[in-house]
Chains A and B, each alone.
Chain A
Amino acid sequence: MLVTRRQDTVSKSQTMADRTATASRLEEVVSTADEFDQVVLQSLPMLLDRATGYTKRFLRETGQWKDDIEHEKFALRWGSEYLERFLVCGRSEIPCRPLFLFDSLVAKQHSKPDPFCYHPDLLRPLGRFVDGLAARAVISRDALIALYRHAYGWGPGEVIAMTGLNGLESQRIYKNFRRWRENGWQRTMDEMGLTKAEIAELGNQQQRHRHRFNSEAERLMRVAQAHYRKSEPDHYPCLSRSQWGEMFAEGYGCDYRIWHLALCLDCMQTAWGLGSNGSTIGEKPRLELQVRP
């Protein structure tokens, strides 16, 4: 027992010493991109903990923190996001002191209004699933197209018909679906910290209480979409049916159709049927969340 304790103490003091050494290396000036990569990649765990700590502090100071695993995961997730951006954008700031640059990057993020989509319900498994899909859709076209599948259960053909895409764009939709099935979905689940058991439980809930499950999913989807739609350029507002109609008829705004309709439940209702050249294509779509890709 005594030996084990001593070993623990030695191990802890060793970790502390390593951390101090890493931090001091990060505080020194780096002059080349290779040097930056080397120093930062060696310090990833420490930087992740640092960013997570800052995020926790931000949540505490804004009255959004609670001591539970959901909040811990949320802070870790955003710490990882900041670190990823730092890994890429930090190289353009060379020569720099990586630690200070990293701190300033996180501070800059936290000084923005609504730096991330926080809602207590979005921290539960269903909320995390919905939030993960919407957050990923902002940075990945595969995830964006997959939103049609997860929200309405559509396949590539239905997506193409709804959005009124041409032949070239259609090919991309099939590709997006394939990639999402192959690895995009799993990667998103991993990044959101959803375990297999949680995903299985979501599937069970969907089967047992379909109506309640979908109405709760719709409520959460609206919260998430309202936040992530801000990633669209400013001149991308919700349109009236006549404006949508004009766009579909004249064949412009292809990107706009794909991006906005995936991220707006109301506009989907408004623009329903315009992509199929006026032919009747059934009832307006209702959100029926699909857990699997």
Chain B
Amino acid sequence: MGQEEDLELYRSRLLESLSSRRRSVRGSSDPIQVYVNERRVGELEGAGIGAMLQVQCLDHIETVQLRTEEGTLLGGLAAPEYGFRMQRVRLSADTVELCVHNTAQGGTFSALLSPAPTFWSRVRKSIADVADRLAAHRPDAALASGMRTVAFTQALLAIAVVGLVADRMTTWMAPEPTPSPAALSEVRPVSQIVETARLEQQLDEVARKQEQLGDALGDALGAQQKGMAQLQQAMAKLSSTQESVETSVQTVRQELEKQQALVASREVERAVNQLSSKAQMRHGQIETAIHSLTVDNDRMSKEIAGLEQYNQDLKNKLLAVGLNASKGVDSNADKQARQAELMQPAQQPQVAQGAQTGQAQPFLFWVTFSDGTSQERIDQWVHEMKGHKGALNEGWQEVQIVPPAVPPDRFIEQIKEDKIIKAARIGQ
């Protein structure tokens, strides 16, 4: 057989199986397997009594399927994403009522198997219907079952009594030949005896019928009690199933809670670790900054002390020069000394500038520095220019220097060539 034929045969077999699926039958006593979301969750025992199955899922219920033990799909439903859906599935004479309810928290599902009524249950129901009609005026629903039985008995007794009375009346009204008074005295006791016997016989019949009725009622009551017992058993089974389901759900919830708590604690731990590592890093950075600041501070203190000392010396010298001038002594040596002192500020710009102000007008210009230029580099540049920084206005830094040897424009062009200088100008 060729592969094409093999495949075609397989296809037609599958189609045949799908078509004949509806004709498949289930044994009345076979349990029905219940699948929720294609997972087996339990079974409905179909041994002629009602059965119920309830399932609670953490996930949404998508599909419900009923299958035989052979695996034949009997029925099912596709559940909505949210809300209720009910479906009645008829399995030969039995009926299974499926109900699904999906919420945000998950889904619940229940299946109720109602078996087909048996012959005796149908007979019992018919009698009960008749009795219901007779006792329709009885208002108490709780006593309805008992009332039905009593009403039925009363009706039967009434029919029997009416029958007896009619029989008696017929006998008495019947045209009989009037006997002679002599014969009457003899005949009357005999007829009375016969009548009494007949009456007794009829009473016996009534009693027998009453007994039969009693037996029938007993049977009916027995069957009812049996039904009640079966119902109680089913209820007990149902409640135990429900308990076990609840226990399972509780266990699953507890496990979920534990897992959630575990996950939460892990997340907290991880966050704390991250925070502590960040804090440690920042702490280290701050320590480094503090250390560098301390070093700078020391250096600055030393420089300030040196500068103060130098200022003091200058003051002393100026004082001495003033005194000499007042004395009219102006030796060349003094001039040389003064010139030497005036040359010093080039090496000590921060202080000497003040000393120069009285003698030479500083050259002022404004610069902006390239992005990312560090303050240290700027200070270094100013130092190299032998100048000092002035005001800072909208990114423009004022710089004062000793007037340059080249013309100002040329000087500005020169400094613009420096990498750290973004722009430079003379005026503000």
Q: How far is the CB of B72 from chain A (nearest CB, A)?
A: 8
Q: Does A1 contact B (CB under 8 A)?
A: no
Cβ–Cβ < 8 Å partners of A138 in chain B? 40
The number of chain B residues touching the other chain, given as a range, is 35 or more
C-alpha spacing A84/B21, complex, angstroms: 9
The secondary-structure label for the interface of chain A is helix
A78–B21 CA distance with the chains assembled, in angstroms: 16
Residues of B within 8 A of A89 (CB): 63, 65, 76-78
CB of B290 within 8 A of chain A? no
With A76-B11, A179-B69 already in contact, the answer to whether A87 and B35 are too (CB < 8 A) is: no
Is A285 an interface residue, CB under 8 A from the partner? no
Interface presence of A120 (CB below 8 A): no
Interface string of B28-71 (1 = CB under 8 A from A): 00000101001111000000000000000000001101011111
Compute how far the CA of A110 lies from the CA of B18 in the bound complex, rounded to whole angstroms: 21
User: Which of B39, B62, B71 is A140 in contact with, Cβ under 8 Å?
Assistant: B71
Would A191 and B14 count as touching, CB distance under 8 A?
A: yes
**A-B interface pairs (CB < 8 A), number:** 105
Q: Which DSSP category, helix, strand, loop or mixed, fits chain B's interface?
A: mixed
From A73, A91, A93, A143, contact of B10 by CB (8 A): A73
> Do A235 and B78 have beta carbons less than 8 Å apart?
no
Q: Is B7 an interface residue (CB 8 A)?
A: yes
Q: Does A231 contact B (CB under 8 A)?
A: yes
Binds B, one of A41-49, A150-158, A217-225, A241-249: A41-49
On chain B, the residues within 8 Å of A90 by CB distance are 78
Residue of A69, A85, A175 touching B6 (CB-CB under 8 A): A69
Q: A48 and B14 in contact (CB under 8 A), knowing A88-B65, A89-B78?
A: yes
Tally A residues with Cβ within 8 Å of B: 45
Is there an interface contact between B63 and A85, defined as CB atoms closer than 8 Å?
A: yes
Contact of A142 among B21, B71, B251 (CB under 8 A): B71
Given the interface pairs A44-B18, A80-B18, A259-B40, the reply to whether A140 lies near B75 with Cβ below 8 Å is no
Q: Which residues of A contact B17 (CB under 8 A)?
A: 80, 187, 190-191
Contact partners of B428 in chain A: CB under 8 A: none
Task: For B171, list chain A residues within 8 Å (CB).
Answer: none
CA distance A195 to B17 in the complex (A): 16
Q: Which of these, B19, B63, B76, contacts A44 with CB under 8 Å?
A: B19
Q: What residues on A are CB-neighbors of B35 within 8 Å?
A: 139
- The verdict on B121 contacting chain A, using a C-beta distance below 8 Å, is no
**Which residue on B lies nearest to A88, using beta carbons?**
B76
**Residues of B at under 8 Å CB distance from A?**
1, 3, 6-7, 10-11, 13-15, 17-19, 21, 33, 35, 38-41, 62-63, 65, 67-71, 73-78, 85, 87, 248, 251-252
A binding-site residues for B, Cβ under 8 Å: 41, 44-45, 48, 69, 72-73, 76-77, 80, 83-85, 87-93, 105, 108, 136, 138-143, 175-176, 179, 183-184, 187, 190-191, 193, 195, 231-235, 259
Q: What are 14 sample pairs from A and B whose C-beta atoms fall under 8 A apart? A: A44-B19, A48-B18, A76-B10, A85-B63, A85-B73, A85-B76, A92-B85, A136-B71, A139-B35, A139-B71, A191-B14, A193-B10, A231-B39, A235-B252
